[in-house]
Amino acid sequence: MTEGLKLRDIDAQRPQEFLRCAEIASESEIGKRYGFSAAGLAAKMKAGVEAGAMVIVAETEGDEGLIDAGHIKGFAWVDPKGAFGSSPYLKLIAVDPSLRGSGAGTILLAEFERRTASIGRVWTLLVSDFNDKAAVFYQRHGYERAGFLPDFAIQGVGEILMLKRRGNDGG
């Protein structure tokens, strides 16, 4: 299902691409639980990119071979030194419901790691304590639980700090 998927950086000059990514995230379980607004999240992502973050998009080609924002099927929002100013931090990864379980998330995670392999000693991310599927996904890819942050982003939800040391491929 992922054979037609292409990865690239978001086009910072096309606000509709930020909006499409934000819509995908807003439709996810975490987006619903956290009450993401597509417009608000799109603005935060754009500001993040302007400050040095990366948004890697996964997209499919249209029937005419043209790419447009509607063909974005997932993304990874990356802060290259977002963890304590020294290690890559995966802020958010989301995949369109039509591609969940297809390997698109794995492809985006691998691209995050590839692009940031020369920065810091570990890769970092947070997983909400209610998001068991995500925690299992990251553990399968070599991430380990390293801490817990109660009520970190919103009241009543804890965040699990997960790290992956270089050379730890999981499996």
**pLDDT confidence tier of residue 71, bands split at 50, 70 and 90:** confident
Residue 127 near residue 162, CB atoms below 8 Å:
yes
Give per-residue pLDDT as tens, 87-132: 999 999 999 988 887 899 999 999 999 999 999 999 999 999 999 9
Whole-Å CA distances, 56 to 26, 49, 102, 154:
17, 11, 18, 26
Helix pair angle (38-50, 15-26), 10° resolution: 130
Q: How far is residue 18 CA from its own chain's centroid?
A: 13
Per-domain boundaries in the chain? 6-165
In the prediction, which pLDDT does 108 show?
98
Instruction: Say which CATH topology domain 6-165 has.
Output: Aminopeptidase (3.40.630)
| Residue 61 pLDDT exceeds 90 | no
The dihedral region occupied by 64, where left means phi > 0, alpha psi between -120 and 50, and beta the remainder, is alpha
For the full predicted model, state whether its pTM sits above 0.85: yes
| Residue 66 pLDDT exceeds 90 | no
